[in-house]
Structure 1
Amino acid sequence: MEVLILVLSFVILLIIGVPIAFSIGIAGILTMLMSIDALPALTTYAQRMATGLDSFALLAIPFFVLAGGIMNSGGIAMRLINFARVLVGRLPAGLAFVNVIANMLFGAISGSAAAATSAIGSIMGPEMKKEGYDENFSAAVNITSATTGLTIPPSNILIIFSLASGGVSITALFLAGYVPGILTGVGIMLVAMSMMVLKNKGLKGLASVLGKVLLASVILVGAGIGMKVVHGASVQAFKGVLYGLLLLFLAFSVYKSATNWTFFKFAFKKFIDALPSLLLLVIVIGGIVAGFFTATEASAVAVLYALILALLYKEITVKDLPAIILKSVRTTCIVLLLVATSIGMSWIMSYENIPQNVSSGLLGLSDNPVVILLV
């Protein structure tokens, strides 16, 4: 009964347009009222929310969001976009590819999908419209590709997952996030290209179906590889991904330089221009893997590095910082409210034995792991 009330109330609240954080909180409280009086239920839920946020590791979220805000206003996002345009701008659906690559780079550096959506979308949206791309298509590409920042480290979601799962190593999660995150980005690019090609041939519906199947397949493969990394050989996988990306870039550069020396010089210039921004990713992840600092300390380092870089680029001044900080605070409040209500619901589900009841029901259907996974 508790499972039914929890799911139905949550879905109904979402359908009528209630923000997701409030939907989670209200659904959780309604479920608690099945077994606890009103006043104790509200008090307990509030206590669980406050206790859940009382974590040093969660400090990484506001720092990474602030780093993303500084990168957006400080010209770092534009340099990443210019670098992405050099890499994939000449391919079919080139600007869509640029959008995806830029979101992957920005999300990987800032750790925030919201910051990536705002930063890249505000620049790429008008550019794609100017080139004749459909506005809905442009928005879909930007929103979906921004989610790659949820898995490509540093990632706020992986930090939250580490806390919610009882202390899984954040470093291992960060290293495991690269392969599925990159494969997701590649899958989105393939979907965008297939939709553009088939749409031009009048097969828009078929493009949508094939695109979804293709993206789901790529994500499943990436998730499987990520799980392997979590359970072992994480450092080797991390190095493999980095070496693979480096070789890919070098091969692409050599190919282009052999056919067009002018393009190679232009590409190299854009790479050098974006290199200080890309070094932020190396500093953050390299520092965590090497043990120089924790994920939380790395987020503070990211803010400091992004601030110094933005000031050196002369894109912002000290007078611009209050507005940037205020915007980051608003984003952080939204994220942490969602985290707090989710922690409260997690406790309620444990209190009502909902996970045990659901797992018992699934095991009653079959003992085959593949069948249970599909269900």
Structure 2
Amino acid sequence: MTIFAGLVLFLTLGLLLVFGVPVGLAVLVSAIITMLLILPFDMTMFTTAQQLAVGVDNFTILAIPLFILAGIIMNNGGIAFRLINFAKVLVGRIPGSLAHTNVVGNMLFGSISGSSVASAAAIGRVMIPMQVNQKYSRNYGAATNIASAPVGLLLPPSPLLIVYSLVSGGTSIAALFIAGYIPGILWGLGVIIMAYFIAKRRQYPVSETISWKDKGYIILSALPSLLLIVIVMGGIIAGFFTATEAAAVAVLYATILTVLYKSLTLKDIPEILRETISITGMILFLITASAMFSFVMSYTGIPEGISSSLLSITDNMIILLLLINLILLVIGTFMDITPAVLIFTPILFPIAMDLGIDPVHFGIIVTFNLCIGNITPPIGTVLFVGTRVANARFEGVIKALVPYFIMLVVILLVITFVPQLSLYLPELFDL
């Protein structure tokens, strides 16, 4: 039954996706079809309705639309320019400095907006024309922007880590948030190092010197935006509020900040709410559909069957972790991040637990893998957005991305086999 149910479930899902059915609908329909082969029609419909309700009956889920709203407010509030100027202060005197500014800008803006696509668009739209004017290769600028855009999904507050917490059975959001810092910083540094060597070889220029007076003004201008991260993470770690309450604080702070910057007006609010509702509706439907999908897998014993099959191949932890990474990398190239987390975490999570992997560490492994997939053809969303923003040729950008892929895979392997890179900070703060 497990093998038959698994074949029906995943073949149906694959066929629906091939025919262009939206991911959430494809997930739900494939789950219902599989259940109809096991249970009577009335029981299947009752179970489906129940699971759709249970899927979103969780207070933690409220953090997702609130963090999305905070990110959209900041995205529309002129924050990107302040963060780019701040990034120039940090890395402006290194060969290829504009590319490094792009990376740091993506790290800062991505952690605030919680969206890799928003980072690639907002930061890339500003930085790539500046790089082209300074005789940087357009493909180099596009590749650097694309390679660094997903890092914000590792740096807190990340809605993706909240989704992982939900489907992994309640892994601590606070621990996941703080665990993302070191891997996220390593991702950013890896891209900077690779960009540096390429820029050094091509003799790309450094940015103009910034006076100490201007540096002080730039830092003070960016400080209120950066304080959002401090307030949210400081409040969660100190126990002042939960992740959901932190998201509400983030919305309030972002609103006040953009009003003070005079970059938010009443006429902007309907569009901001419309965008928030659109993104939230998509994510919540994915969560409810995935709840039904996970129920079907659990009911038919698919995760246990897959776990037993993999463990029967080998009990070597190194080989199994390499297999898990390979599976996630392949999945990430064909599926967007959120549905991939929702569908495949329940399958791979039991295997990770059998191997004795910490749930927090495994969450970072899953996220890191799928973030790489986010910039990888054929489906990589950030890849297409970043290429379009740069007005570059797809083939040239792919070629320019190859060194960054190699660097990121090396960092992924280090993070996979050195758990303390993910667990040191959560343990330090007793999370």
- Interval containing the TM-score (normalised by the shorter chain): 0.7 to 0.9
Aligned to 2:239: 291
Q: CA deviation at 1:306?
A: 0.9
Q: CA deviation at 1:64?
A: 0.9
> 1:300 aligned to 219, 230, 248, which one?
248
Contact 2:89 2:210 in 1 (8 A): no
Q: 1:167 is matched by which residue type in structure 2?
A: G
Contact 1:103 1:120 in 2 (8 A): yes
What is the rounded CA distance, in whole Å, between the counterparts of 2:101 and 2:210 in structure 1?
A: 21
- TM-score, normalization by structure 1: 0.75
Contact 1:109 1:154 in 2 (8 A): yes
> 2:226 aligned to 273, 278, 288, which one?
278
Q: CA deviation at 1:269?
A: 2.3
> 1:20 aligned to 19, 23, 30, which one?
23
Aligned to 1:268: 216
> 1:318 aligned to 266, 277, 284, which one?
266
Contact 2:75 2:113 in 1 (8 A): no
Query: In the alignment, is residue 190 of structure 1 matched against residue 138 of structure 2?
Result: no
Aligned to 2:429: none
Contact 1:68 1:116 in 2 (8 A): no
Q: CA deviation at 1:80?
A: 0.8
Q: RMSD of aligned C-alpha atoms?
A: 2.9
What is the rounded CA distance, in whole Å, between the counterparts of 1:194 and 1:14 in structure 2?
A: 40
Contact 1:150 1:157 in 2 (8 A): yes
> 1:371 aligned to 313, 319, 335, which one?
319
Q: CA deviation at 1:316?
A: 1.9
Q: 1:269 is matched by which residue type in structure 2?
A: Y
Aligned to 1:162: 165
> 2:80 aligned to 66, 77, 82, which one?
77
Q: 1:184 is matched by which residue type in structure 2?
A: W
What is the rounded CA distance, in whole Å, between the counterparts of 2:170 and 2:210 in structure 1?
A: 51
What is the rounded CA distance, in whole Å, between the counterparts of 1:19 and 1:98 in structure 2?
A: 36
Distance 1:43 1:324, change over 3 A: same
What is the rounded CA distance, in whole Å, between the counterparts of 1:38 and 1:23 in structure 2?
A: 19
Q: CA deviation at 1:330?
A: 1.3
Q: CA deviation at 1:70?
A: 1.1
What is the rounded CA distance, in whole Å, between the counterparts of 2:74 and 2:254 in structure 1?
A: 6
> 1:106 aligned to 92, 105, 109, which one?
109
Q: 1:294 is matched by which residue type in structure 2?
A: T
Structure 2 portions without partners, runs of 5+: 324-431
Aligned residues: 317
SS state at 2:10 partner = helix
Q: Deviations over 1:89-148 (max 9, x none)?
A: 443443332222112112222334344344334434544555555666555544443322
Q: 1:317 is matched by which residue type in structure 2?
A: T
Q: How does 1:71-150 map to 2 (within 5 A)?
A: 71-128=74-131, 130-131=133-134, 138-150=141-153
Structure 1 portions without partners, runs of 5+: 202-259
Distance 1:268 1:11, change over 3 A: farther
> 1:6 aligned to 5, 9, 22, which one?
9
Contact 1:21 1:338 in 2 (8 A): yes
What is the rounded CA distance, in whole Å, between the counterparts of 1:261 and 1:149 in structure 2?
A: 28
Aligned to 1:234: none
What is the rounded CA distance, in whole Å, between the counterparts of 1:269 and 1:263 in structure 2?
A: 10
Aligned to 2:154: 151
Distance 1:141 1:11, change over 3 A: farther
Aligned to 1:252: none
- TM-score, normalization by structure 2: 0.66
Q: CA deviation at 1:11?
A: 3.5
What is the rounded CA distance, in whole Å, between the counterparts of 2:139 and 2:293 in structure 1?
A: 34
Q: CA deviation at 1:283?
A: 0.6
Q: Deviations over 1:204-243 (max 9, x none)?
A: xxxxxxxxxxxxxxxxxxxxxxxxxxxxxxxxxxxxxxxx
What is the rounded CA distance, in whole Å, between the counterparts of 2:34 and 2:196 in structure 1?
A: 45
Distance 1:261 1:364, change over 3 A: closer
Distance 1:117 1:40, change over 3 A: farther
Q: 2:280 is matched by which residue type in structure 1?
A: T
Distance 1:192 1:12, change over 3 A: farther
What is the rounded CA distance, in whole Å, between the counterparts of 2:20 and 2:279 in structure 1?
A: 20
Distance 1:41 1:163, change over 3 A: same
What is the rounded CA distance, in whole Å, between the counterparts of 2:241 and 2:39 in structure 1?
A: 43
Aligned to 1:359: 307
Contact 1:85 1:95 in 2 (8 A): yes
SS state at 2:180 partner = helix
State the percentage of identical aligned residues: 50
Q: Deviations over 1:33-68 (max 9, x none)?
A: 332345543542343122111211111111111111
Contact 1:68 1:115 in 2 (8 A): no
Q: CA deviation at 1:156?
A: 0.9
